[in-house]
A and B are shown apart, each in its own frame.
Chain A
Amino acid sequence: MMPVTIKTLTFAALLQVGVFAFATGASAQVGPRGGPGAVMDIDEQPGLTAPDDDVAQLDPQFRHQPVYFRTTEKPGTIVIHTNERFLYLVQGDNRAMRYGIGVGRDGFQWSGLKSIERKAEWPDWTPPSEMIQRQPYLPRFMAGGPGNPMGARALYIGGTVYRIHGTNQPQTIGYAVSSGCFRLVNSEIIDLYSRVPVGTKVVVRQQAAL
């Protein structure tokens, strides 16, 4: 167990500066919060731990809540407005369940119509090769668990390398930090995961370009 723990702790230091990304172009940044003192709490059985009350740490507007949402998309569809930092799960009758998200950094933002092709609990993480090239220090594989940047659940968006996934860093919700993925705090992704089956349509919308 010990070698794994050390490796995880080293990686935890990287997590603190939010450099992880899943597909393209994220360059490494070393920030002041990633110092040697940054230790992540890994317990005896990683992967089996329920998240803390991370929703309480969110700005109220980013906690999941029913909202007015007029759309022509069918109930059950996920609509993501990247510039608002909100994900809507359409519920019909002009309403949706709205979740706060973190989105891709400028330049890695994308839009289009896709669908959920796979779901996973406490997913493993295998960074894609183009990412390893840019960030050689990243692990080639990381087993699922609380220290894994994929968080508690992942919804894989078909035909892309992007996911809707968890995070244990509530402070990143509302910001553009990932490389195109959409992140929710762990208890929120667990809630969304339970409502969304494989095959769900995903519409990603961007702010109008000038």
Chain B
Amino acid sequence: MKTILALLAGAALALGATAATAQTLKTVKDRGELVCGVSKGLPGFSAQDASGKWTGFDVDVCKAMAAAIFDDPNKVKYVPLTADERFPALTKGEIDVLSRNSTWTLEREAKLGLLFAAINYYDGQGFLVRDARKVTSALELDKSKVCVQAGTTAESNTKDYFAANGMTLELVTLPTSGELVKAYEDGKCDTLTTDVSQLYALRLTMAKPGDHIVLPDVISKEPLGPVVRQGDDQWFNLVKWTVYAMINAEELGVATNTIDAALKSQKPEVKRLVGNEGNYGEELGVTKDFVVRIVKAVGNYGESFERNVGAASKLGIPRGINQLWSMGGIQYAPPVR
């Protein structure tokens, strides 16, 4: 019966239902679990281990939502999706939310009828070089041979960036990421370029990862975040404020190991965040202490970042632009008040 209802709800949405009829939160509560679309396997972002357990930075968003709704991060059904499958799965109502390293673009919102709830990872194109070259900026790459995957936006971005900065380059295009790495390691190019998160993943596959560094420059915008269907503002808000809860928790010093102290804090902004003042969680359709539930389940934004993709993970991606706005990055959440 529940399945039939879900299918009907999905069909209604596909036919262009309005906000009045879309009640994703109620559907999720009645079903007893969240259905979350994720990547089939992307180290650090979403991956399934041998026992079937899902982990990763994108998976943490699903867990945080389940914690906020059910006080149980495990009440999630994961639907692994390819790049082609991901948006149709969302518009057809097969998943409640998509948390799968997807870039926020105008077309995806306006043409596909979607809404990106928040940016939880600022990705963008960067450059990998041999540490021994002692290069510290992409502006020092004049006259370089640049390895890039053929047919990607990275190819045109690279030409634009070099032209805009009065530099010349020799492009070496390769059909696959495997060949990209090989060409670079064989010395056929001075630098390798693709999205920064991808550079760190490719570096892991190299013979001596420690011999290469990723330059701090990010030359394109690839803002990633969870996505919902249009037509359900309450659900859109809940996804958005789940991400913002994690970011605000980090900014205010509320973490897994400080959550008990945070609950006793007399600072007004901390009291509002943990639900000791105001009624914010209930206004979102969950409970007053939803942020406490989230932090206990997955930690704050910084904890989730470091554990999955940051210094505590194999990838070792620096916070960089994903550091808080107050700490040198651009990660910024509106306040809880």
Q: Which A residues lie at the B interface, using CB under 8 A?
A: 59-61, 65-71, 79, 81, 84, 88, 95-97, 205, 207-210
Contact = CB atoms under 8 A, between A and B. Distances in A.
Contacts of A61: 311, 316, 318
A60 B218 contact: no
Nearest to A91: B136
Size range of the chain B interface in the assembly:
20 to 34
A79 to B, nearest CB: 8
A30 to B, nearest CB: 28
A71 B324 CA distance: 11
A79 B267 CA distance: 26
B137 A71 contact: no
A209 B215 CA distance: 33
B256 to A, nearest CB: 13
A207 B253 contact: yes
A210 B321 contact: no
A88 B329 CA distance: 13
Contact of B262 (A71, A79, A81, A210): A210
A68 B328 contact: yes
B252 interface: yes
A160 B258 CA distance: 30
B265 interface: yes
A208 B252 CA distance: 6
B218 A68 contact: yes
Given A65-B213, A88-B328, 18 more contacts: A61-B316, A66-B137, A67-B320, A68-B217, A68-B218, A68-B323, A68-B328, A70-B328, A81-B327, A95-B137, A95-B217, A96-B328, A97-B136, A208-B253, A209-B267, A210-B254, A210-B261, A210-B262
A96 B217 CA distance: 11
B118 to A, nearest CB: 19
B216 interface: yes
Contacts of B72: none
B328 A66 contact: no
B9 interface: no
Nearest to A174: B311
A210 B258 contact: yes
B328 A71 contact: yes
Given A60-B210, A210-B261, A210-B262, A70 B318 contact: no
B195 interface: no
B252 A68 contact: no
B328 A210 contact: no
Contacts of B311: 59, 61
Q: Is the interface of B mostly helix, strand, loop or mixed?
A: loop
Given A65-B213, A68-B329, A71-B328, A210 B316 contact: no
Given A60-B316, A208-B252, A210-B252, A70 B330 contact: yes
Contacts of B320: 67-68
B62 interface: no
A69 B254 CA distance: 23
B94 interface: no
Nearest to A81: B327
5 contacts: A71-B328, A95-B217, A97-B136, A208-B253, A210-B262
Contacts of A210: 252-254, 258, 261-262, 265, 267, 270
Nearest to A67: B216
B251 interface: yes
Contacts of B270: 210
B159 to A, nearest CB: 22
Nearest to B328: A69
B87 to A, nearest CB: 30
B129 to A, nearest CB: 11
A160 to B, nearest CB: 23
A60 B204 CA distance: 13
Contacts of B267: 209-210
Nearest to A70: B328
A59 B265 CA distance: 35
B24 to A, nearest CB: 34
B253 A70 contact: no
Contacts of B330: 70
Contact of A209 (B253, B318, B329): B253
A207 B316 CA distance: 22
A66 B265 contact: no
Nearest to B274: A210
A73 to B, nearest CB: 10
A173 B256 CA distance: 24
Which 10 residue pairs of A and B lie closest in terms of their CB atoms, listed nearest first? A208-B253, A66-B136, A69-B328, A68-B320, A210-B265, A68-B216, A61-B311, A67-B216, A210-B261, A66-B216
B65 to A, nearest CB: 25
A84 B329 CA distance: 13
B321 A68 contact: yes
Nearest to A79: B328
Contacts of B329: 68, 70
A61 B316 CA distance: 8
Nearest to A206: B253
